[in-house]
Amino acid sequence: MYFKISDFLIPTLIGGLAGLFTFWIVNPEWNMFFGMGMGMVWGMVLQVPVILFLMPLFGAFEVMVPAMISGMASGMFCGMLAVMYSFTLSTAFIIGCGMGVLVWLWIGVKNRQLKGVVQ
């Protein structure tokens, strides 16, 4: 049960943090593709200290793959939105957490398709 909770919390936390950092960094006057690229880069940079802290507790694969995908996806999505629309810091965090939840669901579905249901 401990690992099931961490499988959900890790991509959600990193997605939310990537949304926050992207909101602070991306300028609304930038090009949309540049904002998306900067969000992706900062999502990847942000996840490194988090995974270094969490890998000894939960394992490398269980932390690195969801952290990498959710950091990049949340950063890219929030970077595009920051250029296209004006929204608040809390909205950026909620959108980032939502992207983290989507990544968690996607990884869970693909894991079940590859391995089947483990009893």
The answer to the question of residue 7 being in a domain is no
Alpha carbon of 111 to those of 54, 65, 99, 105, 114: distances in Å? Answer: 21, 12, 18, 10, 5
The answer to the question of residue 81 being in a domain is yes
Number of domains in the chain: 1
Tens place of pLDDT per residue across the chain (119 aa): 566 777 788 889 899 999 999 889 888 888 888 888 888 898 888 888 888 888 888 888 788 888 889 989 998 898 888 888 888 888 889 999 999 999 999 988 888 888 876 66
The answer to the question of residue 115 being in a domain is no
The answer to the question of residue 3 being in a domain is no
The answer to the question of residue 61 being in a domain is yes
The answer to the question of residue 47 being in a domain is yes
The answer to the question of residue 1 being in a domain is no
Q: Contact, 10 vs 83, CB < 8 A?
A: no
Residue 85 carries which DSSP code? S
The pTM of this model reads 0.83
The answer to the question of residue 114 being in a domain is no
Alpha carbon of 42 to those of 1, 55, 82: distances in Å? Answer: 31, 20, 14
CA angle 8, 24, 52 (to 5 degrees): 45
Domain that holds residue 69: 15-105
pLDDT at 8 (0 to 100): 85
| Separation between Cα atoms, residue 65 and residue 2, nearest integer Å | 18
